[in-house]
């Protein structure tokens, strides 16, 4: 059997809140395997025919067939393999962003059980993945359109959840903090400002961020500002000083240092590489 594959992989920086990293469809050859290894983003597979297996930490290989879906979490060692006699065919979409963990927490996917069997809304899942694929491209407008269809896809999983998920306290705190940061990152806000807006202490905000995102609120704010700066470096002719001021850094030297620490290159060098 010949292997068939159609895929798209993003080559430019995506949106901060949610962005597609790759998307596609594949009809695999018998026994085709990936892993063991890790991905640096979330990755959903939906099986449309055939069979295969997926192994994740703390579990024996799980068997999948048409109508099943499984989720790969970032930086988690996994492997998956097509059946020798009936190799599977699946659609997939990879994504990242600050909204990803929060949205996925409202679905039936969990780290302990990252799969769904025989979902009744599979045709919707396939349709939305196809929409994402047909919207693919490396223009900013493509990224926005793909993100829109990705939100719709994830809403399908949310609507199909077997249980009504109640966000726990930490998720509520982090989501509210993210909203504040997205609206005010261009101003000289502090972690104290964020905690005050959320209505909790700085230490409680810190614990919430660490438990959900494995980073501090200060680190998240800096990462958010740097990612916004990347967009401006790629898509505008603003000076480095103007960009620093636009994303909340009142000192261009400090901005350049923070940018180099995050991206491994100065703002000017990054612009040359990506324009």
**Which pLDDT belongs to residue 164?**
46
Give the pLDDT confidence score for residue 166 in this predicted structure. 44
Q: What is the pLDDT at residue 45?
A: 96
- Whole-angstrom Cα distance, residue 199 to residue 47? 44
Contact criterion met (CB below 8 Å) for 175 and 167: yes
Its pTM stands at 0.60
pLDDT for the residue 141: 87
Q: 51: which strand partners?
A: 65, 87
CB 69 within 8 A of CB 80: no
CA distance 155 to 194: 28
Contacts of 17 (CB under 8 A, 6+ apart): 97, 98, 99, 147, 182
- Give the pLDDT score at 162: 59
Give the pLDDT confidence score for residue 213 in this predicted structure: 84
pLDDT at 168: 59
Predicted local distance difference test score (pLDDT) of residue 170: 79
**Residues of the chain predicted below pLDDT 70:** 1-16, 162-168
> Residue 3's pLDDT is what?
53
Q: Give the 3-state DSSP-derived string for 138-181, with helices as H, strands as E and coil as C.
A: CCHHHHHHHHHHHHHHHHHHHHCCCCCCCCCHHHHHHHHHHHHH
DSSP assignments along 182-207, one per residue? HHHTTS---HHHHHHHHTS-HHHHHH
């Amino acid at each position: 059997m010949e292997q068939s594959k159609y895929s798209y992989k993003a080559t430019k920086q995506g949106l901060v809140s949610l962005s597609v990293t790759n998307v596609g469809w594949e009809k695999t050859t018998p026994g085709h395997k990936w892993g063991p290894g890790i991905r640096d983003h979330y990755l959903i597979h939906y099986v449309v025919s055939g069979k295969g297996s997926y192994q994740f930490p703390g579990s024996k290989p799980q068997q999948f067939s048409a109508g099943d879906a499984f989720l790969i979490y970032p930086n988690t060692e996994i492997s998956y393999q097509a059946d020798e006699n009936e190799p599977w065919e699946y659609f997939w979409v990879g994504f990242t962003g600050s909204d990803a963990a929060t949205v996925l927490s409202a679905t039936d996917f969990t780290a302990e059980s990252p799969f769904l069997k025989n979902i009744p809304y599979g045709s919707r899942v396939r349709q939305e993945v196809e929409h994402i694929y047909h919207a693919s491209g490396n223009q900013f407008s493509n990224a926005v359109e793909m993100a829109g269809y990705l939100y719709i896809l994830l809403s399908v999983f949310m609507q199909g959840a077997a249980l009504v998920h109640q966000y726990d306290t930490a998720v509520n705190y982090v989501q509210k903090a993210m909203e504040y940061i997205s609206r005010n990152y261009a101003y000289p806000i502090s972690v104290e400002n964020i905690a005050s807006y959320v209505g909790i202490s700085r230490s409680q905000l810190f614990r919430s961020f660490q438990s959900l995102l494995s980073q501090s609120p200060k680190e998240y704010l800096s990462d958010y500002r740097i990612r916004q700066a990347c967009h401006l470096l790629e898509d505008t002719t603003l000076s480095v000083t103007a960009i620093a001021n636009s994303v909340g850094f009142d000192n261009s030297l400090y901005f350049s240092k923070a940018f180099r620490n995050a991206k491994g290159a100065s703002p000017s060098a990054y612009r040359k590489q990506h324009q």
